[in-house]
Amino acid sequence: MKCKHCIERLSEYYDNQLNSKEQQQIEAHLGTCTYCQEEWRKWKFILEEVHHLEEVPVPENLHERMLAGVKKEQSKELIDKNHKTFTKYWYNRSWIKVTGSVAAVFILVITLSQQGGFFRKESKTESGVEPLTVAPYEAQSMITESVGPQTRMAIPEEQNIPEAASAANHADTQANQKREGTIKQDNQAVVEQWVVTNKDQKSLLETLQTYSIEQGFTLFMEQEDVGTEGIYLTGVNDKQALKTFLEERGAEVQITVQEAGKDLKLFLQTGQ
Amino acid sequence: MEEARERMLIEKVKSGDMEAFEELLFHYEKPIYTICLRLLKDEEEAMDAAQEVALKLWKQLHLFKYKSKLSTWIYRLTTNQCLDQLRKWKHKKDISLFQQDTHKKEEWIFEKPDEEISIEKQIEQKELQAILQQALMELKEDYRTILVLRDIQHYAYEEIAEVLNITLGTVKSRLSRARGALKKVLEQNKEPYQSFFRLKR
């Protein structure tokens, strides 16, 4: 065996990676060659010293320091989760999904005022209008899709808010897997706001409701303050298209608060 | 840690269990930090890197699909983190541990102090370590990484192949060249290397 060949194999020899034949060859050569013996000695010396580099001065608080960032991240995740739960709860508490005409909204107001704000479950009336019932909260999953022009109200079932929260959270957890999102640092439910000025609010609202069904986003009208024309939209994938849609129908759209995300609040006002 | 327990902890962490994460972290934090320190040399940088690795571990564990061992996966995260940091600061010149940070040598306290070793010996040992660390930093990153994984962390060739995503053959050849390069650095006829082979344990 030549020295060059031997030295090339020293690394594998050191790690017992050679087959027995090669190993014997190396050992035989090392037995007779002083140059390679010296090389081998240096190899061993160096690598034994390198082994000792495992003994590092480990900081006493290594665990806490490594954990600090993780705990901070966990807090952020929990806040975001609670923020979304709260937002959905708040929306669902105060808003009713309107899938029919505006008339349904007024009927609702009358029904509620007659009931004095107390909700109880009732069956459908002949007109097809279902009075609002039950608890002040409803789960996201209960909001039904609208079918046709028939006036309907979503009937909330009795559910505890934790269930609602967990139902909402399940989807959120999936989304949060990517740990993305526009988490507001101050945890406020900040939403993009538009002021929509037009001549015929009733007509515009009807068109908007139809559009919402076509586009697959949800429209909520404020229950307590009907008349302020505050409308919440959620799940708007293409805000620009919506803006164009409104403008094409003669409305003037002014973006008063700009935010990322698929939620919007519209203020309808009458104007020329 | 036995495999079944580790698997249970992993599943718990995937559903957000911080206690389970802490237990996993206890098991891996020292090798993570060791790799970072040996690759990055600087204690502060090593801590930054280790903290990043812990955070990534928390955020990305849901991606772990048991295709490799958890240890392999973690060490891959660690080496990649260090290599990323090194590439970011590539424009900076390597600070010579020996020449500029001599005060740091005294801060290196061995974990297994042997009272029978004389003070002189202890100083010699510290010098050896310091020289070695500097030599390591002179190597290119690929060589340094494979040396850290094999000769400091003692990982098997197969595991190294997985961590670095290279073949077994590449592990053998790269390790051989890395060790050869380290030897060449240490044999240079300049300080601090001139005293290396004279210092003995």
Question: How does pLDDT run across B132-157, given as a tens digit for each residue?
Answer: 988 999 999 999 999 999 999 999 99
User: A125 or B9, which is more confident?
Assistant: B9
Distance (Å) from the C-alpha of residue B176 to the closest C-alpha of chain A? 5
Within 8 A by CB and 6+ apart from B119, the residues are none
Q: Which of residues 61-80 of A touch B (CB under 8 A)?
A: 62-63, 65-71, 73-74, 77
* Mean pLDDT of the A32-51 span: 92
User: A209 or A225, which is more confident?
Assistant: A209
Q: B54 to chain A: which residues are within 8 Å by CB?
A: 66-67, 69-70
A19 touches chain B (CB under 8 A): no
Work out the pLDDT band at A128, boundaries 50, 70, 90: very low
Work out the pLDDT band at A10, boundaries 50, 70, 90: very high
| Structure-block tokens of residue A170 | 């399940």
Which residue type sits at A104?
A
Q: Do B37 and A49 touch (CB under 8 A)?
A: no
Confidence check: pLDDT of A20 > 80: yes
- Start-to-end C-alpha separation, chain B: 33
Confidence check: pLDDT of A121 > 80: no
Instruction: Return the pLDDT at A110.
Output: 60
Confidence check: pLDDT of A160 > 60: no
Q: B3-87 maps to which CATH number?
A: 1.10.1740.10
Confidence check: pLDDT of A182 > 80: no
Which residue type sits at B33?
Y
| Structure-block tokens of residue A155 | 């009937």
* Mean pLDDT of the A65-87 span: 83
Confidence check: pLDDT of A213 > 60: yes
User: B166 or A102, which is more confident?
Assistant: B166
**Extents of the domains making up chain B:** 3-87, 98-199
Instruction: Return the pLDDT at B108.
Output: 38
Instruction: Return the pLDDT at A86.
Output: 66
Question: Could you give the percent of chain A with pLDDT greater than 70?
Answer: 57
B186 touches chain A (CB under 8 A): yes
Q: Which CATH architecture has domain B98-199?
A: Orthogonal Bundle (1.10)
A147 touches chain B (CB under 8 A): no
Per-residue pLDDT of chain B (201 residues; tens, 9 = 90+): 778 888 989 999 998 899 999 999 999 999 999 999 999 978 999 999 999 999 999 999 988 888 888 998 999 999 999 988 888 776 555 444 333 334 343 333 333 344 445 666 666 777 788 889 889 999 999 999 999 999 999 999 999 999 999 999 999 999 999 999 999 999 988 878 887 877 755
* Mean pLDDT of the A236-252 span: 91
Confidence check: pLDDT of A149 > 90: no
> Is B21:A63 a contact under the CB 8 Å cutoff?
no
Distance (Å) from the C-alpha of residue B172 to the closest C-alpha of chain A? 7
Instruction: Return the pLDDT at A168.
Output: 42
CA distances from A159 to A165, A218, A252 (A): 10, 21, 40
**Nearest Cα residue to A98 out of A154, A141, A56, A166:** A154
| Structure-block tokens of residue A111 | 């029904």
> What ipTM goes with this model?
0.73
DSSP output for B22-72 = HHHHHHHHHHHHHHHHHHH--HHHHHHHHHHHHHHHHHHGGG--SSS-HHH
Give the closest of A47, A62, A73 to B179, CB-based.
Answer: A47
Q: Which of residues 123-182 of B touch A (CB under 8 A)?
A: 125, 128-129, 132-133, 136, 147, 150-154, 157, 172, 175-176, 179-180, 182
Confidence check: pLDDT of A11 > 70: yes
A10-14, A31-35, B41-45: the lowest-pLDDT one? B41-45
User: Which of A178-187, A218-227, B84-93, B182-191 has maximum average pLDDT?
Assistant: B182-191
> Is A247:A204 a contact under the CB 8 Å cutoff?
no
Work out the pLDDT band at A112, boundaries 50, 70, 90: low
Confidence check: pLDDT of A144 > 80: no
A47 touches chain B (CB under 8 A): yes
Q: List the single residue in B with minimal CA-CA distance to A48.
A: B151
Instruction: Return the pLDDT at A174.
Output: 44
Instruction: Return the pLDDT at A14.
Output: 94
- Phi/psi at A253 (5° precision): -110, 125
